[in-house]
Amino acid sequence: MPGLEDLYREIILDHYKNPRNEGTFPAPPAIKAEGHNPLCGDELTVYLILDGDVIKDIHITGQGCSISRSSASLMSVAVKGKTLTEVDRLLKIFKSMMSISTNASGEPEASEPIEYSERELGELIALQGVVKFPVRIKCATLSWNTLVQALEDRAS
Ligand code: ZN
């Protein structure tokens, strides 16, 4: 029986090799944001189509390491079709899992621990091992931070 770590590695590799929701839209939507992780060189752009407060569709373009690419793919699957309230909860859970999270300047940021079940995370749990490699946490959180950026830009 393969261990959990093998299973998680499989999920990460699968999303890296076959990224979901990749590419732009025929007519790129107004809501988009660019994210950059200078520590690793990861770059990505998140495009969103909202229907009321639901993320109707999401596309991602970019380049970067396997963790950033895989995390972006996993994030896109996790938030597509969700309400912004559900997305906010997922974001908090994900940041809590990445408990040594960093802010935009790369400094550690205390995130309040919250209660959640692993079921809520779905495949996102595959990234939990990243927390053991603090330098890679920013790779894993880049797509989430960029998603937040896109939603904040929309609101302003
Ligand atoms: Zn990276």
- DSSP string of 63-87, one letter each residue: E--HHHHHHHHHHHHHHTT-BHHHH
72-114 pLDDT, tens digit per residue, is 999 999 999 999 999 999 999 998 888 754 555 656 565 566 8
- 139 Cα–ligand 1 center, Å: 4
Per-residue model confidence as pLDDT tens for the chain (156 residues): 568 889 999 999 999 999 999 999 988 888 999 999 999 999 999 999 999 999 999 999 999 999 999 999 999 999 999 999 999 999 999 988 887 545 556 565 655 668 888 899 999 999 999 988 888 999 999 999 999 999 998 876
Distance CA 136, CA 130 (A): 6
Fold of 2-155: Sufe protein. Chain: A (3.90.1010)
Residue 45 CA neighbour count, 13 Å, CB half: 11
Cα 61 to ligand 1 centre (Å): 15
Measure 6 CA to ligand 1 centroid, in angstroms: 20
Q: How is the chain split into domains, by residue range?
A: 2-155
